[in-house]
Amino acid sequence: MTATLQRWMWPILLLAMFLIVWEVAVILTDTPTWMLPRPTDIFAAFREDHALLWWHTQVTLTEVVIGFGVALVSGVAIGIAIDSSPVLERSLYPLIIASQTIPMVVLAPLLLIWFGYGLTPKIIVAALIAFFPITVSTVDGLRAADREVMAMLRSFGASGWNRFRLAKLPAALPSIFSGARIGVAVCVIAAVFGELVGASEGLGYLMQRSASQFLTARVFAAIFILSFMGVGLFALISLLERILLPWRKYLSDRPRA
């Protein structure tokens, strides 16, 4: 517990110092609130608009969670398919990598035309963005399985399914978790981007509307919520990894031979 406290003490201290400097600087330079609000203005916005902020947070969080879920399931499934089929690896994998050169800026307006202003286009943008790191890390993780371990299992007479279940998938899990952590962080950005292109709800929409009304403190409040959401989801996946892969911690503090 104290170790956790110590680890978090320094970043929190730095953040507090940053907020104080910000507050003082805005007061001293007499910057108008609509241009750069003070941290205390932002806290005031949190207090006054908490119902509004919470409503739009729920919308964005829904898009992120569903989009990430779709990306996780399809990314791992397609990663496994690519690893197990040389034909797919040669045909599909290069296409998936090439698809990353299509900018989301181009795709998002198209999705708007096809799927309207609802949640669907945002979920699709979020899923498309997170899908790539998850697929690549799944393929890499499965490829990294120890060849000798696989040969040993074959020498035991293990079936293909048993080799996958007992050795390949567990060996790939740390890599899949890395991909998922990156995926969830970019998922938040993607959902907000989807909302900026065209939406009637969500934190991206709220930011855009508030900015046009010069309610800058509210824009900052939305930004804070978004970064908190990104960090929180990232931490949640890290926590899940520590719980599901308890053996990992012994690898890092293993004494050198």
Partner 1 sequence: MRNPSDIPRVRLDRIDAIYIEDDVTLEALRDISFSVEDGEFVALVGPSGSGKSTLLDIIAGLYAPAGGDVILDGETLPTPARLGASSYMHQRDLLLPWRSALDNAALALEVHGVPRKQARQRALERFDEFGLAGFEDAYPAQLSGGMRQRVAFLRTVLAERPLLLLDEPFGALDALSRVVLQSWLLDLWERERQAVLLVTHDVDEAVSMADRVVVLSARPGQITHIETIDLPRPRTRDMLTSETFHRHRVALLRALGLLDQPQEALIASEVALA
Site track for partner 1 across 231-250, x = CB under 8 A = --------------x-x--x
- Cβ closest to partner 1, residue 10 vs residue 250: 250
Candidate ranges 66-74, 165-173, 183-191, 228-236; the one touching partner 1 (CB under 8 A): 165-173
Site residues (CB under 8 A) for partner 1, limited to 206-225: none
Nearer to partner 1, 160 or 232 (CB): 160
| Amino acid, single-letter form, for residue 63 | E
For residues 172 and 221, which CB has a smaller minimum distance to partner 1 in the complex?
172
Choosing from 146, 213, 238, 240, the residue that interacts with partner 1 (CB under 8 A) is: 146
| Between 38 and 168, CB nearer to partner 1 | 168
Binding partner 1 (rule: CB under 8 A), the pick from 152, 235, 239, 240 is 152
Task: Give min distance, CB of 168 to partner 1, in A.
Answer: 11
Q: How far is the CB of 145 from partner 1 (least distance, A)?
A: 11
| Terminal CA-CA length for the chain | 30
Binding residues for partner 1 (CB under 8 A): 146, 148-149, 151-158, 162, 166-167, 170-171, 173, 245, 247, 250-251, 254, 257
